[in-house]
Amino acid sequence: MVVPSKLAIEQFSYVMNSNALSSHQIPVVDLSKPDSKSLIIKACEECGFFKVINHGVPLDSISRLEEEAVKFFSLPLPEKERAGPPDPFGYGNKKIGRNGDVGWIEYLLLTTDPNFNYRKLPSAFNENPERFRSALNDYTSAVRYMACEILELMADGLRIQQRNIFSKLLMDEQSDSVFRLNHYPPCPELQSYVDRNMIGFGEHTDPQIISVLRSNNTSGLQISMKDGTWVSVPPDQNSFFINVGDSLEVMTNGRFRSVRHRVLANTSKSRVSMIYFGGPPLSEKIAPLPCLMKGKESLYKEFTWFEYKKSAYNTRLADNRLEHFQRVAAS
């Protein structure tokens, strides 16, 4: 990343509305407590987002992967670009997707398949590519286990007899899950623009079933509430944050809410985040679960994950991706 020019600041920033932020509290779920499933259901219904503590993911696996990520993003730009452009996996810089979205960000998009042949990526990890691969596999394995535990608590809270109805999609050998390392460089030049914020990653929802986010202690993440107000999420490097994805919203027939979120760049601190996106197999049919309908009208048409993924990647970040798959307007 380079020092932004005045033109770049104009391109990546927007005028901040001082009335836009809300004082809503972020739901917190302690996975070690017996009331966790009811708190998860409430959080998914009200805002589609919650913080998880006592999660069981080893702190060592978190710090190892973050260390590898920081090493990579500290490399000179030409070296990092040897791992890109993303097709679909690899290194990206400023451009998000292929439809014109941009942000003050650089990232690595990776598969969670431990047998994946990285091809381009090892050239960017000259010291020890296997160390990065090992850190990545250990982390994603632990986070997938936690995500499945949360999905099974959701099934319990929804009184679904088949407890693994969601988690089996992530555990499937053909699961189309991906992993993303994001780096938002500091932007001290923005301090002279008192009424502006730099867009790190524009507002969007995640198309998968569930997203598991962890970041360092630099702020920037915001979520949108039902009334449209934005809430800043206090960072916590020892906890995880869970997003309901579009696919889970459909499977619960709109009972759970896919959360719209964004990231703003920090004027003085670098932000590094690590996100596991738990997705189903490409051929999996996504539709409201019959056991949750009980005579209710389906709000969504049935589609495969491949169909929805293809549709999502042909839209802009801020678009309502589910709109094309709705039967009636979801409340």
Positions marked active-site = 271
Strand order in the sheet with 230-232: 13-15, 196-204, 261-264, 221-224, 230-232
Answer whether 57's CB lies under 8 Å from 142's CB: yes
Task: Encode burial over 224-237: b for 16+ CB neighbours within 10 A, e otherwise.
Answer: bbeeeebbbbebbe
328's tokens: 């009636």
User: How far is it, in rounded angstroms, from Cα 257 to Cα 243?
Assistant: 9
In the chain, count H helices and then E strands. Answer: 8, 15
Please report how the helices 36-46 and 129-157 are oriented relative to each other, as an axis angle in degrees rounded to 10: 90
Q: Give the position of tokens 């999609």.
A: 169
User: How far is it, in rounded angstroms, from Cα 175 to Cα 170?
Assistant: 5
Answer whether 65's CB lies under 8 Å from 40's CB: no
What size, in residues, is the chain?
331
